Amino acid sequence: MTTATATTSNFESFHAHGLFNDPRYPRGLSRSGSFTISEAQRLEQFGEAYQALSTGARQPVNEEERHFVQVAHGLAEAETPHEKVWMKYQKTLQRRSYTLTSRPFTSHSTSAGSDDDDIELLDDED
């Protein structure tokens, strides 16, 4: 009977009604280059539940989810694959991205011969 309870408990853990789709990853999580295939699949399958638990929109139903909430709020270390992939996902959202662009060369440049003036680093978050 304990086995049935554990199985039911595991089935209920991280139950979500749909696939997780983040607009910040327009080509999908699996094509982002930030996650392995198994991590992307886990996020797509359980991401809705992860997000609801971490924001408080949903209450945890068992000990596994209660620990997940503690991890999401920085009160415990990530131990399970669910916790580790959610924390990895959260870190990708905090990552700053930069784009390397070049400006056309102008004859009125004050530093003749310097290649540094031809390259400008722009912050994508501006």
pLDDT digits (tens, 9 = 90+) for 20-51: 777 777 777 777 788 889 999 999 899 899 99
The residue type of 38 is S
The pTM is what? 0.62
d(CA 53, CA 84): 15
Residue tagged 């359980």 (tokens): 46
**What's the pLDDT score for residue 52?**
93
d(CA 35, CA 25): 11
| N-term to C-term CA, the chain | 57
Label residue 9 by pLDDT band (50, 70, 90).
Answer: very low
The residue type of 81 is P
**What's the pLDDT score for residue 121?**
63
d(CA 93, CA 91): 5
Q: Is the pLDDT of residue 83 over 90?
A: yes
The residue type of 7 is T
